[in-house]
Chains A and B, each alone.
Chain A
């Protein structure tokens, strides 16, 4: 069977009245088949009936933690950038004082503010 015939077969398998069993059989005859490795069954049983299951769950946990970390890290970086921009727009600079919101105040006025004199 050449490539165009296989393409036709693939498309025809989606016809409402297609004989899907025949189509899938023909495709399998053409070498379109999927299999797991020959040790697949043993791997499953080892995971189920040994300490392997704990490892699997640990790997899953690490996988989800990695994903969560990326989300949190990206959100954090975006928040920091927005904060820096807003400080720059409000204070006109990114100095240490502007971070503390002190750029427009003199030391004396802070002392007055704190002591009430």
Chain B
């Protein structure tokens, strides 16, 4: 169980304590950052139990790589990088698996049909956002998730994705175009 009464120590203290095997300290890290990870993972994979599994993997990977964390970037940036990498890997894995059975999975754009019976569902904002995100190509989806759901600036997005700012700006513009096209259909 996570000890909820853990006093609010700084990131460094939590990392050091976790490295020394303090279960409660790592529990506090999980508590602090799980919403942020949920936005990234669920934003990119959709709201499913698989997304929760990836979320758990993020923190497990974090635990085993804490010794490599040197404190040069914020802990949140480090966690975001793990979350983005694991989620993109999962998207690639699914795409590879689907490509064994269908050519459609190889398409850059994840086209989908909007059935008439979905009209009611479309009215719900979160459902619409989910559909729009899942219809986007992964490299744009991650940019939209970082900006729209996490509220990161261009610079922060570039830092997390380990991309030059110019690349992020170019993808932002293309992502905006793709998002506009998708939202027109919804």
Residues of A near any B CB (own CB < 8 A): 1, 3, 6-7, 10-11, 13-16, 18, 20-25, 27, 30-37, 40-45, 47-49, 53, 56, 67, 70-71, 74
A36 touches B1 (CB 8 A): no
A42 touching B1, Cβ below 8 Å: yes
Instruction: Report chain B residues within 8 Å CB of A24.
Output: 147-151
- B138 interfacial contact with A, CB 8 Å: no
- B56 contacts A7, CB within 8 Å? no
CB within 8 Å of A: which of B135-180? 143-144, 147-154, 169, 172-173, 175-176, 179-180
Complex contact A45–B2 (CB within 8 A): yes
Indicate whether B63 reaches chain A with its CB closer than 8 angstroms: yes
B30 lies within 8 A of chain A by Cβ: yes
- B63: chain A residues at CB < 8 Å are 48
A-B residue pairs in contact (CB < 8 Å), sample of 15:
A1-B125, A10-B144, A14-B143, A14-B179, A18-B147, A20-B147, A20-B148, A20-B150, A24-B148, A34-B41, A35-B35, A47-B60, A48-B26, A49-B23, A70-B100
B11 interface residue (CB < 8 Å to A): no
Question: In the docked arrangement, what's the CA distance between A13 and B172, Å?
Answer: 10
- Given A47-B56, A71-B100: A11 touches B27 (CB 8 Å cut-off): no
Q: Is the CB of A11 within 8 A of B125?
A: no
CB pair B30–A45 under 8 Å, yes or no, is: yes
Q: Is the CB of A34 within 8 A of B149?
A: yes
A contact patch SS: helix
Q: Smallest CB–CB gap between A6 and chain B, Å?
A: 5
Q: Given the complex, which residues of B lie within 8 Å of A44, measured CB to CB? A: 30, 56, 59-60
List chain B residues, Cβ under 8 A from A71: 100
- Complex CA–CA separation, A32 to B150 (angstroms): 12
Given contacts A14-B173, A14-B179, A36-B52, 19 further A-B contacts (CB under 8 A): A1-B125, A3-B125, A6-B128, A10-B148, A11-B179, A13-B147, A27-B149, A34-B47, A35-B35, A36-B38, A40-B34, A40-B52, A40-B56, A41-B27, A44-B30, A45-B1, A45-B27, A70-B100, A74-B100
Interface string of B4-43 (1 = CB under 8 A from A): 0000000000000000000100110011001101110111
